Amino acid sequence: MIQELCTCSQTYAKYSHLINPYPENSESVRSLESLNQLIITPVINKFGAENFKLTYGFCSKDLLKFLTLEKSRICVKVDQHMAHERNTKGNYYCKHLGAACDFKVVGFEATKLIGFLRTLNFDSIYYYGKDKSVHVSWSSTPRRKVWEFTVQNTPAPYSNYYWV
């Protein structure tokens, strides 16, 4: 699953011959392994591997360059897709250490998925709409925040309290 987390984005698929998609920091690898074990595996066990569709995972430094060129909606300072990677000054790209991914579960609305995710040891969840991918992150110091993003891409506390 770690390889898939590093190579699942559309941008990587488009520029794969130019991108090293893997983490440089061993802490990033450990966080991706924890994300897989504590979030992804339970989701797959609950909803089925055939329904699980990873849409965005780890963001390497190389991938970040291409996402920036494509004017992606990424926010590396908070979204945890860069895990524990450091910039040229030695600082972490993201102020929240951990790891994140975005995925869909085919045949299930995001609200139902969020209801299940809330039973897990997550750090943050982003809801973009009932038929969109859900962003979920893991951290060793979870904040357990759920955010809903408006059409203007503005976050607000998630208001739908549907539980599985």
**Extents of the domains making up the chain:** 2-157
Q: Summarize pLDDT for 77-128 with one digit per residue, the tens.
A: 878 999 999 999 999 999 889 999 999 999 998 888 988 998 999 999 988 8
* pLDDT score of 150 more than 80: no
Q: Quick one: which of 143, 108, 141, 140 has its CA closest to 126?
A: 143
User: Which residues fall within 8 angstroms of residue 148, CB to CB, at 6 or more apart?
Assistant: 126, 127, 155, 156, 157, 158, 159, 160
pLDDT at 73: 67
Q: What is the mean pLDDT of residues 22-42?
A: 95
Question: In angstroms, rounded to a whole number, what is the distance separating the alpha carbons of residues 133 and 106?
Answer: 10
More confident residue, 129 or 53: 53
* pLDDT score of 58 more than 90: yes
What's the predicted TM-score (pTM) here?
A: 0.86
DSSP state, residue 65: H
CATH 3.40.50 fits 2-157, yes or no: no
